[in-house]
Chains A and B, each alone.
Chain A
């Protein structure tokens, strides 16, 4: 028992690299809510683009209008869900509840498990984020040590969670501008709430693209981890 544990385990002689340890990375709640969010969010975006078509600008009738590069733009048919306004609305108002439920379940898990500590960006991650940025800018050679996520990842995930909350709140502000007038007023009124709700879409789209690219470029093993829960990749430590 007192002998060093590695004495009992001889190292293979010609192995090119030591086998990476397999670690349990994602709880099933995280995996289920992750993929549910992925599918539901695509549905929300597609039905939202259908709804947008009915009044493709932001501002009360007669103006003035908010500055938007998508003014009077009709999005391609393949990107829209619902076929017409009523169809888009019904999809949007049906998918919003499971999406909110998935987000809520995920938050509950983060809070209950303490997993938020390895996910949320906190002031103490600031220095690490700068080091990480230096590494990406090639001002630093070695990859800074990290836990489950590096500080820039934490920043991205924290911002996307906040964006999710913002989308739900602006969504309700647009859904019930009279009954929830305090919420609508908080975002600057009905048309402003529509405007922010719409902008959230493009941040989600940019995040989604960057997220998928980074998974395949930096850490493909994380895709398997998000499906099976098991991770055997470059960053096995868990904070």
Chain B
């Protein structure tokens, strides 16, 4: 019996080895060709990757994210010496007339608002020193001062149909879409201050979104409006393929 098996396998062993070797080579070859092109998947695979990215958004939102879990806070002495800031405009976006600036709160809300910086300063405030996580892989620690988004939500009273918020900026139309749970997280704030000073222009003055539960690109700088929507708003980087949820 064993001999019979041996012969059977003996007769084909060289062939199987060659075939196996070819198969191995093909698999390796395919992967290296894929890698060689710096491939984003091409038109065939890219949509598939984006579908998986949507599943990961769901996993990030429903499994990992907790509306109550707070990000670790640091001591002000632990602030890092640097925190780079990005914008998409050719030059640092700045307002011609800062006194005319208002934050427009609109969309599916009972009370649309138009808030000046003074209005915002009169609202409940939060300060925390937290770690900033950039999608690129760097991190930095800074202190942020501002008004919880939940306080604005309380005032504008979204309609039951409102499930998302779109944050728009005056940085060449940069925007982000947020799910309501992330926006209502106690550490999600509209920041008008950083490291004990007013918000620097480079970091989104006069007002930016901040949250230690999100990657940096989700935190819209140079805010002009918050719009409550029923449909999921995209965003500048999200449209180009970055994960929509962007939670850390």
Contact = CB atoms under 8 A, between A and B. Distances in A.
A22 B5 contact: yes
- Counting contact residues on chain A (CB < 8 A from B), the size range is 35 or more
Interface string B52-91: 1100100010001110010110000000111110000000
Given A21-B2, A181-B72, A46 B31 contact: yes
Contact of B140 (A46, A60, A232): A60
Contacts of A176: 60, 64, 247-248
B64 A78 contact: no
A86 B242 contact: yes
B28 A190 contact: no
Contacts of B135: 54, 85, 89
A38 interface: yes
A62 B40 contact: no
Given A55-B134, A82-B40, A190-B133, A87 B241 contact: yes
A77 interface: yes
Nearest to B212: A178
A91 B139 contact: no
Contact of A77 (B31, B34, B36, B66): B36
Contacts of B247: 176, 178-179
B98 interface: no
Which of A51, A60, A178 lies at the interface centre, i.e. has the most chain B CB atoms within 10 A of its CB? A178
Contacts, number: 161
Contacts of B32: 78
A194 B13 CA distance: 45
A178 B71 contact: yes
Contact of A62 (B31, B65, B82): B82
Interface in A75-90: 77-87, 89-90
A177 B133 contact: yes
A81 B139 contact: no
A232 B56 CA distance: 44
B40 A83 contact: yes
Interface residues of B, number: 62
Nearest to B37: A83
A78 B32 CA distance: 7
B6 interface: yes
Contact of A93 (B27, B35, B52): B52
A230 B240 CA distance: 48
A232 B138 CA distance: 51
A93 B53 contact: yes
Interface string A173-185: 0011111110000
Contact of B40 (A51, A78, A87, A179): A87
B136 interface: yes
A81 B212 CA distance: 29
Interface string A154-194: 00000000000000000000011111110000000011001
Interface in B211-248: 212-213, 237, 240-243, 247-248
Contact of A60 (B28, B141, B212): B141
Interface in A171-224: 175-181, 190-191, 194, 220, 223-224
Interface string B1-36: 011011001100100110011011001100110111
Contact of B52 (A60, A82, A94, A178): A94
Given A191-B139, A224-B17, A42 B28 contact: yes
A116 B81 CA distance: 50
Which of A60, A91, A97 lies at the interface centre, i.e. has the most chain B CB atoms within 10 A of its CB? A60
A190 B83 contact: no
Contacts of B31: 39, 42-43, 46
B202 interface: no
A177 B36 contact: no
Given A60-B80, A94-B48, 8 more contacts: A51-B137, A60-B141, A78-B36, A87-B40, A89-B242, A91-B41, A94-B52, A177-B131
Interface of A: 9, 19-22, 35, 38-39, 42-43, 46, 50-52, 54-55, 60-63, 77-87, 89-91, 93-94, 97, 175-181, 190-191, 194, 220, 223-224, 227-228, 230, 232
